[in-house]
Amino acid sequence: MNIDFIILAAGKGTRMGGDSPKVLASLAGKPMIQHLIDTVDSFPSSKTSIVVGYKSNEVERDLVSQKKLRFVKQKNQLGTAHAVKQALPIIKKNSVAVVLYGDVPLVKKNTLNKLIKSASRGKLSMLTFIKDDPTGYGRIIRSSKKSVQKIIEHKDASSAQKEIREVNSGILAIKASLLQQFISKIKNNNAAKEYYLTDLVEIANNHSVDVVATLCDPYEVGGANDKKELHELERAYQKKLAEDLLKSGVTIADTSRIDIRGDIKIGQNSFVDINNVFEGNNVLGKNVHIGPNCYISNCSIKDNTIVYANTVLEDSVIGKNCKIGPFARIRGGSELTEGAELGNFVESNRSNIGKNSKAKHLTYLGDARLGTKVNVGAGTITCNYDGKNKHKTIIADGTFIGSNSSLVAPLVLGENAYTGAGSVITKDVPKGKLAVARGKQVNLNKKK
């Protein structure tokens, strides 16, 4: 079955503030509409058309899809039916057309499947939901056979109709051939002089086409017209992601104090403390412990590793049984092998830390390669940048770096070598040798 998704994304969204199109407002680290595109991409026999208007170039530039997106411009915004009409020339007549909204981004694939299945049988299929306070929403008026007779706007509803809590989401599906037939019959006989897609209900009934409504979780059809609604949508989405992790066997200290801005996988029996932000693609193994206030972006963290409080991890691979932090920063291209430790106020950048090696205090490791069982004393830095180029520091197995050493790259320290505390090492150190490079101590009498 062919499916044509039509996503309406032409509005500016004045109430959202700023100059960017509303559908590009960030939800969990990516544009609202991108969530919707990711969902419809999962339908193999489908095409997606996006109706754009305000700053259409920005919308086209910022969206990513596995398929080729088709953009259609709505020069004058004359209502939802008018917007859909712009896409009809590129819609296949033998497909099912599904109308979605770029600012209603969280509808699920299973829900869309139900909608599409119903529409494929020649019905006008709609998504509705129960709203505790339906003020301002169009009420769903059903017949005795439970089909939808009409949608009545709040301002036009009687007292009895205002008691109805089932309301319209705006999302619908219908055979494209029927949509093309009906949409030309929609008039703009209203105060706003706009063409409303909701008029399809009455038109379909007049042409003996059944109109059916599928109740869905209000979470799936939550939209955002302003910053307050966007905040509420963000928190609802984050809470749902956290609850999914709980169901998979992960302990979350507080589901209201975690932010996942991308994709994440966490193994069973892991623990995530409060105020953590996960960005990009992250994979955490089993029995991983993440302390409070950490930022983790595009990382792989293997089993039994502990990340202590206030640590930043970016674009790195962390092996099994490692310990990191507190207040550590592990930057892009770093890799820690099993049992490695980088402690408080340690920074690593494009470095490899060997098995059971450690730098536990106040250290910078840039472009470094540490072998196994290396010990790096507090205050050590690898001087990797000469003002033009970056250079590597190679520290072989079993080497001990004394506190407050400066290792001026390019540099190689052999197996089981030592550096004396406070040394500035500028030449290679052979295997098993102790390197001391510091000024001679002079004790002077105090002036009286």
Three-state secondary structure along 112-180?
HHHHHHHHCCCCEEEEEEECCCCCCCCEEEECCCCCEEEEECHHHCCCCHHHCCEEEEEEEEEEHHHHH
Question: What does residue 27 show for φ and ψ, rounded to 5 degrees?
Answer: -130, 115
pLDDT of 260 reads 98
Which segments of the chain belong to CATH 2.160.10.10?
227-435
Name which of 278, 324, 329 is nearest 304 in CA terms. Answer: 324
Q: What is the CATH number of domain 227-435?
A: 2.160.10.10
pLDDT of 311 reads 98
Alpha carbons 434 and 418: distance in angstroms, whole number: 4
Binning the chain into helix, strand and coil, the percentages to the nearest 5 are: 20, 35, 45
Name which of 128, 103, 123, 98 is nearest 113 in CA terms. Answer: 98
**Measured torsion, CA atoms of residues 79, 83, 86, 89, in degrees rounded to the nearest 10:** -110
Cα–Cα separations (whole angstroms), residue 194 to 49, 87, 188, 190, 212: 22, 17, 5, 7, 25
Alpha carbons 208 and 214: distance in angstroms, whole number: 19
- Mean pLDDT within 239-249: 97
- Mean pLDDT within 225-250: 95
Q: What is the CATH number of domain 3-221?
A: 3.90.550.10
pLDDT of 394 reads 98
26: tokens are 């960030």
pTM of the model: 0.89
State yes or no: pLDDT of 366 exceeds 80: yes
Reported as a single tens digit per residue, the pLDDT across 279-303 is 999 999 999 999 999 999 999 999 9
pLDDT band at 377 (very low <50, low <70, confident <90, very high): very high
Assign 208 to helix, strand or coil. Answer: coil
24: Cα separation from own chain's centroid: 13
Alpha carbons 253 and 264: distance in angstroms, whole number: 17
Out of 8-17, 95-104, 203-212, 268-277, pick the least confident.
8-17
pLDDT of 53 reads 92
pLDDT of 69 reads 95
pLDDT of 152 reads 87
Alpha carbons 126 and 103: distance in angstroms, whole number: 17
State yes or no: pLDDT of 147 exceeds 90: no
pLDDT of 18 reads 81
Q: What is the mean pLDDT of the chain?
A: 95
State yes or no: pLDDT of 357 exceeds 80: yes
- Mean pLDDT within 96-107: 97
State yes or no: pLDDT of 131 exceeds 80: yes
Question: What does residue 181 show for φ and ψ, rounded to 5 degrees?
Answer: -70, -40
Which segments of the chain belong to CATH 3.90.550.10?
3-221
pLDDT of 189 reads 86
Percentage with pLDDT > 70 across the chain: 100
Reported as a single tens digit per residue, the pLDDT across 73-92 is 998 889 999 999 999 999 99
How many of the other CB atoms lie within 10 Å of CB of 130?
14
State yes or no: pLDDT of 191 exceeds 80: no
Percentage with pLDDT > 90 across the chain: 86
pLDDT band at 192 (very low <50, low <70, confident <90, very high): confident
pLDDT band at 347 (very low <50, low <70, confident <90, very high): very high
Reported as a single tens digit per residue, the pLDDT across 303-331 is 999 999 999 999 999 999 999 999 999 99
415: Cα separation from own chain's centroid: 44
State yes or no: pLDDT of 1 exceeds 90: no
Write 409-414 long-range contacts (CB < 8 A, 24+): 409/367, 409/382, 409/383, 409/384, 411/382
Assign 279 to helix, strand or coil. Answer: strand
State yes or no: pLDDT of 396 exceeds 80: yes
- Provide the annotated active-site residues: 361
Alpha carbons 67 and 144: distance in angstroms, whole number: 43
- Mean pLDDT within 379-387: 96
